Amino acid sequence: MNDALLDWYAANRRDLPWRRTTDPYAILVSEVMLQQTQVARVIPRYEAWLKRWPAPAALAAASVADVLAEWVGLGYNRRALRLREACALVSAEGWPDDLTELPGVGPYTAAAIGAFAFGRDTVALDTNARRLFARLGRELAPRPGEGRLFNQATIELGALVCRARAPRCDACPFEPECAWHGDTPRKRAPAVRFEDTDRWVRGRIVAALAAGDELPAVAPDRLARALDGLVRDGLVRRDDDVVRLG
């Protein structure tokens, strides 16, 4: 099955900038940016980020305010702070063998960096790979020396073919062996508009501060709640009536 997977990947892979490097810092940046953010939005931001801060030491030396301003629009601003903290540790001590020792790096990100940067034969189980293996009815593993391509292939197959909605089973190299016969329909909870969430207010506050604009015009209780959370998370500082990025 590994041969079928790698043959499919060779014929269908997207040319993404983080796949052209084995630099662990560049791969860490891409993995953090790609968390819950679409690939098309990440590509230009990733390239601009590496141009501005090409190495861990450069990012570690950047101010919190500059890092947050560069991150505006990518969402979940705490990711930017954890990335900066991880780079401070790497620039001081080097890359640890156990990559989960780095701030903000969990099992998936550690496995991805291990495979893509260090050539480890780990299995990086992102949402796409988990869904692929669940539908297939078994987990696959890389053969020795295959870790980088194997993980890129499983993630790509899950993203392009074995999609959560409208999977393209006719294009899947595993279709003859696949155990999946369709998801059981599930009732979905009514959707909440993103604009009605505290996360939206937090993002607007950070974007406004980065641009030097006025704070967003939202209900005072929503603004206060979002500001309190941002201060707690170290993203924003508040000195009397003056609010600025951390």
Query: What confidence score (pLDDT) does residue 189 get?
Result: 55
Provide the β-strand partners of residue 76: none
Instruction: Say what percent of the chain tops pLDDT 90.
Output: 63
Residue 93 in tokens: 């001590």
Residue 132's pLDDT band (boundaries 50, 70, 90)? very high
Query: What confidence score (pLDDT) does residue 185 get?
Result: 44
Q: Does 40 reside within a domain? A: yes
Q: Are residues 122 and 71 in the same domain?
A: yes
Query: Which range among 125-139, 188-202, 206-220 shows the weakest confidence by mean pLDDT?
Result: 188-202
Residue 196 in tokens: 């009605």
Catalytic positions are 31
Query: What confidence score (pLDDT) does residue 234 get?
Result: 80
Q: Are residues 111 and 222 in the same domain?
A: no
Domain count, the chain: 2
Instruction: Say what percent of the chain tops pLDDT 70.
Output: 96
Q: Does 29 reside within a domain? A: yes
Residues 79/104, Cβ–Cβ less than 8 Å: yes
- Tokens 């016969």, residue? 181
Q: Are residues 95 and 134 in the same domain?
A: yes
Q: Does 73 reside within a domain? A: yes
Q: What is the pLDDT of residues 120-129, one digit of tens each?
A: 999 999 999 9
Q: Does 76 reside within a domain? A: yes
pLDDT at 57 over 60: yes
Q: Are residues 224 and 106 in the same domain?
A: no
Residue 192's pLDDT band (boundaries 50, 70, 90)? confident
For residue 19, give its domain range: 2-171
- Assign residue 162 the CATH number of its domain: 1.10.340.30
Q: Are residues 20 and 113 in the same domain?
A: yes
